[in-house]
Amino acid sequence: MEILHPGLLSTIQDLGRFGYQASGFAPTGASDFLSMKRANALVGNDPGEAVLEMMLLGITAKFHTACVIAITGADMTPKINGFAVENGVAIRITPGDVLEFSGTRGGTCCYLAVSGGFDIPLVMGSRSTGLRFAVGGFNGRKLKMGDQLKLRAPVPDLPNFQCRRLTSMPVFSKHVVLRAIAGPQDFMFSDTEIAGFFSRPYSVTNATDRMGIRLEGEPIVPKVTSDIISDGTVFGAIQVPSGGQPIILMADRQTTGGYAKIATIITADLPRAAQMTPGCTVRFMRVTIDQAQDILALEKASFEEEYRLLNATYPKSDA
């Protein structure tokens, strides 16, 4: 697959690189990991197979090998040889085909999966691109014009091809509710401030990328200070810096942080957080850890059933 135009920020990502955060390596991985897994399901890959993630503006690429592709996530108006194609379906590619994306019309991240996966080496157990430390992915960086992405085991066709279609598609709203549990430093804020955080709206600012999403709204005021001795971070943690405007930590977050974390978005809602665009309004709904685990279990079962319907069996290797 030859990159004719690289888009704005296009990188190879999988489920992430885990076990190295103590050494300073962020897990990285797909921002909207559910869309990533659904794209892989459409082309018969393991759900955790590496895909191409495109942010806000997509690539233009020419294929030199027959394969099957699928596109999920944000709507970037995909076209093949100038003709519109759909998100959420398996698509046959023949040598010479040109796949073109535009800017997003809804959502932030768009995903391209290729049957058999990309021929990208594993680095510390993952093919994800770690941009800040230039590790993994395609030479540890975002794609550039002229890059040649090899395909590892492409297949030109798949069984039950006409049925390889997602039965439901995400809706990317300008008004989002994200469920969250209380954070590890919520004691640094009064009950009034915590109640306010879980009831007030916030706006997504332009300062939004794979590292974090800066929000704007009524400042959150700590009892004394929001500074802490730096400790570990997780995907979806919500920091409150000294100015009181919260920051949602995302896939490329720093490994440690020195601001109090008032809450953490539940795993099941992280894909929707990743798809928020500047100008979106977001509110947070408080849930318990038990509720968060129940929600995640239901989502996991739903995806596994979707995968089985597309591919007959679900791979036991996926965590």
- 3-state SS of 164-230 is CECCCCCCCCCEEEEEEEECCCHHHCCHHHHHHHCCCCEEEEEEECCCEEEEECCCCCCCCCCEEEE
Phi and psi at residue 161, to the nearest 5°: -60, -45
CB-based contacts of 294: which residues, under 8 Å, 6+ apart?
none
Q: How many residues does the chain have?
A: 319
The pLDDT profile of the chain, 319 residues, written as one tens digit per residue, is: 999 999 999 999 999 999 999 998 989 999 999 999 999 999 999 999 999 999 999 999 999 999 999 999 999 999 999 999 999 999 999 999 999 999 999 999 999 999 999 999 999 999 999 998 999 999 999 999 999 999 999 999 999 999 999 999 998 999 999 999 999 999 999 999 999 999 999 999 999 999 999 999 999 999 999 999 999 999 999 999 999 999 999 999 999 999 999 999 999 999 999 999 999 999 999 999 999 999 999 999 999 999 999 998 878 654 4
Domains of the chain, earliest start first: 2-166 (no CATH), 175-287 (2.40.100.10)
Phi-psi region of 279 (alpha: psi -120 to 50; beta: other; left: phi over 0): left
d(CA 43, CA 72): 12
Say what the alpha-carbon torsion angle 63, 65, 69, 73 is, to the nearest 10 degrees.
-30
Dihedral sign computed on CA atoms, order 191, 196, 199, 204: negative
Q: Match 């896939």 to its residue by tokens.
A: 251
The CA-atom distances, in angstroms, between 109 and each of 105, 138, 245, 263, 307 are 11, 18, 24, 24, 21
Q: Match 């093949």 to its residue by tokens.
A: 80
Selection from 10, 6, 74 nearest residue 210 by Cα:
10
